Amino acid sequence: MTRLTPWSVGLAALTLSLAADGEGIRSPTMLAYTCAGCHGTNGASAGEVMPSIAGLDKGYLVSVLDD
């Protein structure tokens, strides 16, 4: 059985949210809620398994998400 890593789960969630764009339901708020599900409110995750994204440089974060 293959174990899903937090990154693969996050990538799947992001992919599904981007796929919704064709239906016109993608919004910044919806995408933020998708991220908060794993990275926590305001980007501060609750555990060591999922990295916190709070405090990351905006340019770096956009670059990583764009890649």
| Domain presence at residue 1 | no
pLDDT tens track for 2-51: 555 666 566 666 666 555 545 556 677 777 777 788 888 888 888 888 88
Determine the structural domain holding residue 43 and report its residue range.
6-66
pTM > 0.75: yes or no: no
Contacts of residue 55, defined as CB under 8 A and 6 or more positions apart, other chains included, come to: 43
User: What is the pLDDT, as a whole number, of residue 10?
Assistant: 67
| Domain presence at residue 12 | yes
What values do phi and psi take at 48, rounded to 5?
-85, -15
| Domain presence at residue 26 | yes
Task: Give the dihedral sign, CA 62/29/31/47.
Answer: positive
**pLDDT at residue 60 greater than cutoff 80:** yes
Q: How many domains does one find in the chain?
A: 1
Assess contact for 51 and 45: CB atoms under 8 A.
Answer: yes
Question: In a 10 Å sphere around its CB, with 0-12 CB exposed, 13-18 middle and 19+ buried, how is residue 42 labelled?
Answer: exposed
**pLDDT at residue 1 greater than cutoff 50:** no
